[in-house]
Structure 1
Amino acid sequence: MIKKIFNEFEKKIETLKRLEKELKSLDSEGFESEVEALKSKLKRPDKIPEIEKGIAELKRKVYDKSAEAIEIAVVPEVAPAPKNAYGVVIGIGKYKDEGIPALKYAKEDAIEIYNILTDPKYGGFPRENVKLLLDEQATLTEIKSAMGTFLARNAGENDMVCIYFAGHGSPELDPTGKADDKLEKFIVPYDAKKDDLFGYGLSMDVIREILDKRIESKRAVFFIDSCYSGEAGGRTFSRPDVAARNITISEKFLEQLSGEGRIIITASKPDELSLETDELKHGIFTYYLAEGLKGKADLNGDGVVTVDELYSYVYEQVTKKARQLGGGQHPLKKGTIVGEIPLTRCETEEMMRIKKLNLNASRLFDEGEYEEALAIWSEVLRIDEENAEALAGIGESKKKIEEMKVILREKQRRLLDLHNRGLPAKEYDEAMILLKKNPRAYTELERNIVEYIEKLLKGDISIDVYVDTLKLIKENYKRDN
């Protein structure tokens, strides 16, 4: 009991040291008063949950501040888990119109995101619930059908919806002048015509109408790996009449695309390029999006990647990588949600260790090594005191150990009775020692002896036969060895 209390105390001290380091790293971020308030609680192990919550809130403020994004309204509790999950994943690397530049990795980007979403280890979306449209499959009609019909007919208000697009985005002059930058923005489908995006492109107005009027989900996330600057070198292009005007593209269309229960995360600001690189063999936004979904964005280490965590991770990594490549790329997040949206599950190092320990304990339990299994499951509880598998395993192990003790006591009682009826002291003592010994430690000779001990205890052989057989077994063993 004392050892358990000491271990728990030691674990809390290590946690406080880790939290102190995290607070030091936040000192220079402009939140001095909040940091000092949390530091004052570092001598109180009972304040660990409060400190962790405070650090998580400060980290979110730091990322939101650096991202220059609309602050998301989040209530403290996590949103209810979606009943079902649906998705549409689109990747277009080559276009029917040869005047539209090809993209080297857009198709591969979409395949990577699709694989993560449908992998039981990560997203767990049923494959039949996710539409994958690649290159020539991603026509204007098919994209509208996937978003406006497939999602509309299947995804309910409490269901998770994830839409991903990798391909060209493009601006076109808006003759009505409704947009504040006088430009209409389009997602470019496979069969688009470069000189007629209004007729053959998918406008943001149409997408907004689909999201507003046809998709009921209040758990919708839309990832867009394209850009709208019209500059060469990224996932965008434009007609000469647009490029000649040198217009700064407004973010307002992204704000209009987002809404309550809907998050839009784009690869870059509208007037920046969304870059691809041969080094990563992906667009840099999608590369870090994928890495984040697979676990690197699990900032609090709870085994779940949420939208907020993912954006924070992606923003930091993409901006850093873009600087290394000599460019500027700043992902944007727009929208409001109630609660946090969990996107994927992942295994932290601690979770993988627990999983390995549980597997080893289960194997030992199946082999009848209940003491060893109990020891390993007890180790799991020192890491995660609420681990259900370990708690159940400990209960079953203790039960089996007690059963084995009862069986051993009965065998010892019967041996004593046999001793009183004539079993020699030497053979009696030997049998008592072997019954207490772990069977895994038996030598070949001891295994043979135990086989006849069991026969003696069951009454299958007499004391005389047992003694004579034992003598013969030992003589043969001595001769052969």
Structure 2
Amino acid sequence: MLKSFVLPLLLLCTTALCAQGRCQRGNCYDGQGILRFADGALYTGNFKAGQFDGEGTLTYPDGSVYSGNFRGQRQSGYGKLKDANGNLYDGMWRDGRRHGRGKVVYASGGEIIGTWVEDQLQGEVAFTFANRDYYVGNMDHNAMDGYGIMEFANGDVYRGEWSNNQRNGSGKMIYADGTVYEGQWENGAPKVDWAALGFVGNTASLLSCDQGCPDGNSRFTYADGTTFLGETRNGYPDGKGTVLFPNGNSYHGRFHNHRPNGLGIMQYADGQIEGGIWKDGQLFRRMYSASGQPATEATAAYDPEVKVWAVVVGAAYYQHMQTLRYTDDDAYQFYAFLKSIEGGALSDDQVKVLIDENATHDNILAAMRDTYRKADENDVILFYFSGHGLPGSFLPVDYDGESRALAHEDVHEVLQNSRSRHKVVIADACHSGSLVARGVGANREALSGYYSALTNAKASTALMMSSRGEEISLEDGGLRSGVFSHYLIRGMKGEADANHDRMVSIQELFNFVHREVRGYTGNVQTPTLTGNYDEQMPISVMRAR
């Protein structure tokens, strides 16, 4: 974005070097004269002790011209330099470098007014770009850095923080149509949680607008079958919500005048995803795009009941890597836990388990997509992986050393394409932490409380990993398990219930696992918990006694 004004190579000659030039006229030692060099450079001006000193003009071999003050053979004080391309610097110099207030006028039409320190822009500047964008704000080492305002030629205006010529930090963008986005920016793009733009909550609790509805969250159904779930005003959709279209498209974001208007994301039936600023149903400013899986008829309808949908993977027997001893057992134990009262008593259609030869790259992705597409906004999706890992990837059993790795980005994409309210990833694999380096009778009452707590928890993505990105994850013959998975299941069965409310929250579970794993491994292995998650989100419930 930012051009740099590069000076031609300065002719910094010593007295000895000057002697190689030829004095064509005047006094080239103490006085005024004209000195020509063998390479074609020409100096006209004042000399002192054989050096350029005082007013003078230096013409470079390439045609660049400096006119101004010299001291000790170098530009110092006020001067102008016009390079061979027609770019002009007009301002202060010190020791042959731009230093102090100055102005650059580019031949292409751009202009900078600011302060240079040792030939680099520092502090407040006014920068007009050749395309007529206009920046006023702070610069550091020739880069926009700190607070600044950019008035774009298309009418958009950004006010906020910058870093290395990109919008980074808190900022506000006022688009040309008056739409405003205010929030965090990263690497020049809005840092938006696209998964949280639509309606978040229990859809079963929404009032139907068939007979009219008050202001607040409601369900509104149009004559063509389009359904809006979210904020209504004066009996009509107006605000944040989720829109389900009859053609399979779904929209999540701001809705006004019966159309997408404002910040939102559209998931098309063919799997394409577009996010940004919408205007009267059309994408006005694209800020995000991705490709997901095409929608299918089996996609879940809205269901008031909270359900958990899980994919459990255990990979021990690799063809091209060392066999692991307990990862398949860990996966079976985790699967058994999910089938128990403590784990939510999941039915067979809610959990898919892939062990060893079934834990291939394609099978894992297919199981995730097939299972998670059944989830609606009220539900929880969970992915558990136990096996080998590399930085940035989980390794299925068909990993051959070069291909078939399960990239963390692929896992993230499947999770993001789900409509579920809560997303949980638990991985017991080496380098798993790099996923986050750019988440009957009395027992019926216990289960009811568990699912009720899930309903009340805020939307979450929690990523619990067995180790930091640079660490390995350990197995132990005494435990006959991976150390992380051993304490994970113990914690979920109740040992992590620190407040004794007969439920284990995600934060309680992590605190327990982190403490026990660090203690058992002598601080060699450090579990991590990251993501945008509700600390009170329940992970398990205690069986009634």
TM-score (norm 2): 0.40
Higher helix share: 1
Q: Which is bigger in relative contact order (C-alpha 8 A, separation at least 6)?
A: 1
Higher strand share: 2
